[in-house]
Homo-oligomer: A and B are copies of this chain.
Amino acid sequence: MNASRLVDLRAELARRDLQGFIVPRADEHLGEYVPSGAERLLWLTGFSGSAGLAVVLADRAAVFTDGRYVLQLAAQTDAALWERRHITEEPPPAWLAQHAPGGRIGYDPLLVSEEGLQRYADAGVIMVPVADNPIDAIWKDRPAAPLDPALPHRLEFAGRSSEQKREEVAAALRTAKQDAAVVTDPASIAWLLNIRGSDVPFTPFALGFAIVHADAGCELFMAPQKLPPATRDWLGNAVSVQDRAALPGALAGLAGKRVRVDAAGSPVWFAQQLRAAGAEVQGGMDPCMLPKACKNPVEQQGARDAHARDAVAVCRFLRWLETAAGHESELSAAAKLLELREQVAGFRGESFPAISGAGENGAVIHYRVTPESSRAIRPDETYLCDSGAQFTDGTTDVTRTVWTGPGAAPAEVRDRATRVMKGHIAIATLVFPVGVAGPHLDAFARAALWRVGLDYDHGTGHGVGSFLSVHEGPVSLSRAARPVPIAAGIILSNEPGYYLPGRYGVRLENLLLVQPAEFPEAVKPFLRFETLTLAPFDRRLIEPALMTGAEIAWLDAYHARVLAEVGPRLEASDQAWLAAACAPLK
């Protein structure tokens, strides 16, 4: 099937006099979760990972992804049709410069950022924007855009009114001497207007675009049928609503204005349209991104509450796992966890597809269990589960790795898992001054692994939204991230890991809330992390002899807190199990 799609695409490219075409995973919001009609990469190649890009030339084609998906890419794509490449070790621009020198390479300007496009130009690739995506021309039964309703996100969860938020954003635009900003991230719009939706899986936003003006006015571009009367009322008069089709005209109406467009986060199409209309485009971060990331006190308390409730499902699941080996599977385990979460008040769905990986499947960093891939959970192996939930008051994301028993874990596995635990604790206990950014801290999570020549091929942590995207910017704990200073109120994941391909994987993840750290005599402000996630780490995978006294004390104190906060929410038999799971290490 895929072979004929590739043949069709090549014919379409030939008709348009293009020597090649790039197919990103992105939709026109450059989002992580996209509606099914935007799954062009999956449709063309079979690869379902959340990050990737295909390049199609007349005589060869390649799919690129990062370290998280290398194994999945190999499993899902046809080696006869596709070369498989590591996107950072052999970037697509360099590959194109080598294999299609001088060729005209098409791109859809709605699916590529200006910065992304620049990387091709820097490599000397001749990039040609195409107005109609050639994939759409050959994808006959492409699903239509979703029309799910956008609904109010009430103040008891949002904490601040949209009016306040729009005034804050407008003030930032005025300070930057800008007349308006284009907002293309539906999560930013959801935050700014206090609305939520269900257009894509896992992230509760409604797809749309917005233009925010320096006078705090806002134009929302969203199919009117997605906005019921109650939502229209909730938005108020300062927010105008127009159909998506009105967007080019509205951008043209900004002629002569200074308009902020996020060169990394927005499709280049917006800057191209604005420049063609005679607007002055200024690069700059989506003005909602940082204020959205810094959760207000209501959102912070919501996060604590959501995590405490989610912990009940996670702890019950961990107990259930104790007897799962031998008669449950990766798939049935993921289903069990979902079933337990569905019993939690306020549960609104998973925040991403659960990763449920036993043994060697745990080494597939972003493994997605399917009926085809699922295997039994066996005795005496590792089982890794990375999952999360959306609640009206917060978003969760937690990973635990357990030893299925009944035997003891081998010394090597305990050594690796303990080094991951040490990295997790090193991050969790950091105190640092304002100004420090993710790239400056990432190494703390790795030092214990590095010491013996080991590492993991993914970032240490990402931002997490408030009943929004489980992966949000602008801060992440990664050497590759831009050094945006960490700020109070940001929620970050802390998820070091270790993966031995074909054998096993370990990842240990809690969410952290950035808090001011108070020191009476400090000469500048400091920050610390408050751990939000509450669930025991499997003590069978911990080797106390490898830990310092301070690390053991942290783990024991964390477990005591889990027992104190989650225990009272459990039934008696679950409580007894939790008490044992949370016993001190020594």
Expressed in whole angstroms, the Cα–Cα distance for A437 and B479 within the complex equals: 9
Expressed in whole angstroms, the Cα–Cα distance for A521 and B449 within the complex equals: 13
User: A519 contacts which chain B residues (CB < 8 A)?
Assistant: 452-453
- Closest B residue by C-beta to A522: B453
Q: Which parts of A458-484 form the interface with B (CB within 8 Å)?
A: 479, 483
Asked if residues B483 and A439 are in contact (CB atoms below 8 Å), the reply is yes
How distant is A358 from chain B, measured CB to nearest CB, in Å? 23
A573 at the interface (CB under 8 A from B): no
A517 at the interface (CB under 8 A from B): yes
Asked if residues A444 and B447 are in contact (CB atoms below 8 Å), the reply is yes
Which of A435, A440, A548: most chain B Cβ within 10 A? A440
Asked if residues A455 and B443 are in contact (CB atoms below 8 Å), the reply is no
How distant is A422 from chain B, measured CB to nearest CB, in Å? 12
Expressed in whole angstroms, the Cα–Cα distance for A271 and B447 within the complex equals: 43
- Closest B residue by C-beta to A452: B519
Binary per-residue interface labels of chain A (323-352) against chain B in the complex, 1 for a CB within 8 Å, 0 otherwise? 000000000000000000000000000000
Asked if residues B443 and A441 are in contact (CB atoms below 8 Å), the reply is yes
User: A436 contacts which chain B residues (CB < 8 A)?
Assistant: 443, 479
How distant is A451 from chain B, measured CB to nearest CB, in Å? 5
A479 contacts which of B431, B440, B451, B454 (Cβ < 8 Å)? B440
User: A443 contacts which chain B residues (CB < 8 A)?
Assistant: 432, 436, 440-441, 443-444
A442 at the interface (CB under 8 A from B): yes
A444 contacts which of B431, B435, B444 (Cβ < 8 Å)? B444
A140 at the interface (CB under 8 A from B): no
A526 at the interface (CB under 8 A from B): yes
Asked if residues A453 and B483 are in contact (CB atoms below 8 Å), the reply is no
Asked if residues B479 and A450 are in contact (CB atoms below 8 Å), the reply is no
Asked if residues B450 and A431 are in contact (CB atoms below 8 Å), the reply is yes
A433 at the interface (CB under 8 A from B): yes
Binary per-residue interface labels of chain A (292-308) against chain B in the complex, 1 for a CB within 8 Å, 0 otherwise? 00000000000000000
Q: Which parts of A540-575 form the interface with B (CB within 8 Å)?
A: 548-550
A14 at the interface (CB under 8 A from B): no
Q: A439-B439, A443-B441 are in contact. Are A450 and B483 (CB under 8 A)?
A: no
A524 at the interface (CB under 8 A from B): yes
Binary per-residue interface labels of chain A (34-66) against chain B in the complex, 1 for a CB within 8 Å, 0 otherwise? 000000000000000000000000000000000
User: A435 contacts which chain B residues (CB < 8 A)?
Assistant: 479
User: A521 contacts which chain B residues (CB < 8 A)?
Assistant: 453
A131 at the interface (CB under 8 A from B): no
How distant is A94 from chain B, measured CB to nearest CB, in Å? 14
Binary per-residue interface labels of chain A (406-438) against chain B in the complex, 1 for a CB within 8 Å, 0 otherwise? 000000000000000000000000111101110
Asked if residues B455 and A433 are in contact (CB atoms below 8 Å), the reply is yes
Expressed in whole angstroms, the Cα–Cα distance for A519 and B431 within the complex equals: 32
How distant is A356 from chain B, measured CB to nearest CB, in Å? 26
Asked if residues A451 and B439 are in contact (CB atoms below 8 Å), the reply is no
How distant is A486 from chain B, measured CB to nearest CB, in Å? 12
How distant is A558 from chain B, measured CB to nearest CB, in Å? 18
Expressed in whole angstroms, the Cα–Cα distance for A524 and B443 within the complex equals: 16
Expressed in whole angstroms, the Cα–Cα distance for A152 and B453 within the complex equals: 42
User: A524 contacts which chain B residues (CB < 8 A)?
Assistant: 455
Expressed in whole angstroms, the Cα–Cα distance for A40 and B175 within the complex equals: 37
List 16 A-B residue pairs with CB atoms under 8 Å apart, sorted by A's residue number: A430-B447, A430-B450, A431-B447, A432-B450, A433-B450, A433-B455, A436-B479, A439-B440, A439-B483, A440-B442, A440-B479, A450-B526, A453-B521, A453-B526, A455-B523, A479-B483
Given contact pairs A453-B521, A548-B548, enumerate 20 new A-B contacts (beta carbons under 8 Å).
Answer: A430-B447, A432-B443, A432-B446, A432-B447, A432-B450, A433-B450, A435-B479, A439-B439, A439-B440, A439-B483, A440-B479, A443-B443, A450-B526, A453-B517, A453-B522, A453-B526, A455-B523, A455-B524, A479-B483, A548-B549
**Closest CB pairs A-B (n = 3):** A453-B519, A453-B522, A431-B450
